[in-house]
Amino acid sequence: MSDPPVTVVTGANSGIGRATAIHLAQHGHRVFGTVRGTSRIDTFHKQKAAARVEVELVELDVAEDASVRRGFEQILSAAGRVDVLVNNAGVGANAVAEEATPELYLDVMNINLCGAIRCIKHVLPGMRERRSGAIVNITSVAGRVAALAQSPYVASKYAFEGVSEGLAQELAPFGIRVVIIEPGVTKSAIFAKSIDVPNSTGAYDAPYRRMFQFYGAGIAQATDPVEVARVIHHAITTESPQLRYATSWGGQAMIDGRRAMTDEEWVELGAIKDDTEYYARFAEHFHVDIAPS
């Protein structure tokens, strides 16, 4: 009987990361879930116990080289290899470009992009040697559609999309699968942590208001993160893999809508002054109703 696949899920203490860690453990994976600290993981332990699975937690902060190195040394010492890496850890950031500092862009990029790169570097040598493995990068619909008033977040996710697309070609000769998961609005703690905006100029009330309205509508219909976990399991096991998988509320609709728009229509949408007209035009383009009820 072959050994179970060894899987690492970053940011496993909540949302998509927690659901994925538990779901893959239910499907026979030996799962290591990374967390920045073990002081606030009561819900994780309750859900793990309810699912009757084991997930081995490892303290690891993707934002720090030394922490990632220590974490993967612990994982590789315990398991000997990593077959699947799910890069889930990330943060949100609300700000229009004028009001976002360069430091904010760098901080978000360091976690959302460089954090994944740090982890990838620790698993690829073994995967290349074995000529097998899977890298799952959880980006966002905001990596395909420039979500309003979230410029630093969008920048990090667009960059992560580009790196992932290139990585897929780089690793194809070694038999290593690269998967890009693009969630829309999913039940997650990230939204509760992303409620502030700088609004330092006072000139961007409409973009901030519309951004919060979008997420207000989305949170009311947010997809259970277990659905994303199921997509991830399918993506790493199917014999007919895709590079990209859009999922969750608004995910595929937003991507399809933007693809169907001209750039001129995209700019015109931003120029609309009246909120009611904006929400109506948004629904026409994206087939997603975000108007206040």
Token code pair at residue 85:
């890496």
d(CA 291, CA 111): 32
Single out the residue of 191, 202, 220, 181 nearest to residue 93, CA to CA: 191
Residue 23 near residue 53 (C-beta atoms within 8 A) = no
Catalytic one of 153, 245, 278, 279: 153
57 phi and psi angles, rounded to 5 deg? -90, 140
Distance of CA 178 to the CA centre of its chain: 14
58 phi and psi angles, rounded to 5 deg? -130, 130
Who contacts 101 (Cβ-Cβ below 8 Å, separation ≥6)?
none
Active site residue 278: no
Q: Which residues are catalytic?
A: 153
